[in-house]
Amino acid sequence: MLTTDTRTIYDEELNLFRDQVRKFFEKELIPNLDRWEEEGIVDRKFWRACGEAGLLCPGVPAEYGGLGLDFRYNAVIDEELAYAGSSAGITLQSDIVADYIANYGSEDQKREWLPKMVSGEVITAIAMTEPGAGSDLRGVRTTAKRDGNEYVVNGSKIYITNGQNADLVIVVAKTDPDAGSKGVSLILVEATRDGFKRGRNLDKIGQHSADTSELFFEDVRVPITNCLGQEGSGLPYLMMQLPQERLGIAVSGQAGAQRAFDEAVKFTKDRKAFGQTIFDFQNTRFTLGALKAKLQAGWAHLDWCIARHMEGKLSAAEASAAKLFHTELQWEACDTALQLHGGAGYMNEYPIARIWRDARVQRIYGGTSEVMKEMVARSI
């Protein structure tokens, strides 16, 4: 269990909220983890249960069916989900997609989609990455060309979280291929539209229960009112939302690092070799001691980042640094913890195996560690 006694950003109300989240996950999430891993997808029933429990899109204003809470509530959910060892895509919906629609959507778009996202009736995705375009979104080739009062969307996307479950997708597309960065727009595409097709549920190294898909758009027609915000403003919108997206990944990374550490401590204090526990060997104690020091610093830094974000001051460079630091720490903690498990760590029956393989992509999606270093360096 995550301890929050030394945290600086949470008050009694948030601690009570955390208790509710834990109890909900103990009942609705943890008993289903293994089955979802085997099936490669999280039940829609779980999404509806999250909605009923108030765990989806907590920041959505009350007028659109939400609770109107601040990002700290998202962070609590993110931490507990990551610590539980789940890769369910609810954080994408709550931390990323909801804010795009709430911040840039028309009144009709907000009233149509936000209440259904809060309830779990609608599952969403955001389609950025393409086979030939990853971190540099100026290279997207998907187009949305005007034809009268409609856009005609053509192209393909890959590595899309919630791709199999999604009812609504925010598609990053070029509405004016000749306008460079000013020609990119965000287009809402409903999964019921003719020409929208889902590819296979991709076979990944880890995060098996997270449905991650190819998406195809073949002459998909949507009304021009499906443009999210101003046409041609897609890249600025993406840049403005990246700090929260990367902060959310950092939150999950820190909690995942703590879970890996806790698993290592539990195992090494229980397992014996040469007449003593693994924990009693100096190498183990020094290794875990050094890692605990980094985790202590990590939690303090994370609280600083969340507080900065709450004040609207967290910069793109600071958010990039947070994602870099906390996901790299997560990988160090997971790999160290697996090593301390010895051969048992390579067995799927031990939680550390899934925790380890699920962590690897954290240093890739949302911007690779290398891109994060470049973003930080640009601020120097």
Q: In which domain, by residue range, is 171 found?
A: 125-232
Instruction: Please name every residue paired with 212 in a beta bridge, in sequence order, or none if there are none.
Output: 161
Helices 107-119, 44-52: crossing angle, 10 deg rounding: 100
Coil, helix or strand for 172? strand
For residue 158, pLDDT over 80 is answered with yes
Over residues 83-109, the pLDDT tens digits come to: 999 999 999 999 999 999 999 999 999
Q: Tokens representing 16?
A: 């009570």
List Cα–Cα distances, 31 to 26, 89, 319, 350, 351, in angstroms. Answer: 7, 17, 34, 15, 14
What mean pLDDT is predicted for residues 292-308?
98
- Return the CATH number at 47: 1.10.540.10
Query: Do 215 and 244 share a domain, yes or no?
Result: no
What residues act catalytically? 245
**Radius of gyration in angstroms for the set of CA atoms belonging to the chain, rounded to a whole number:** 21
- Check the CA dihedral 221-225-228-233 and report its sign: positive
CA distances 370 to 248, 323, 373, Å, are: 18, 11, 5
Token pair belonging to 35: 């089955």
362 and 282 together in one domain: yes
Would you say residue 16 has pLDDT above 80?
Answer: yes
Q: Verify that 240 and 343 share a domain, yes or no.
A: yes
Average pLDDT for the chain = 96
Nearest to 256 by CA among 328, 205, 192, 198: 328
CA 218-219-220 angle, to 5 degrees, is 90
Which pLDDT tens digit goes with each residue over 229-240? 999 999 999 999
How many structural domains compose the chain? Answer: 3
In a domain, 7, yes or no: no
Task: Write the pLDDT tens digit of every residue in 203-256.
Answer: 999 999 999 999 999 999 999 999 999 999 999 999 999 999 999 999 999 999
Of 198, 232, 266, which residue is a domain's last? 232
pTM above 0.85, yes or no: yes
* Residue 328 backbone phi and psi in degrees, to 5: -70, -40
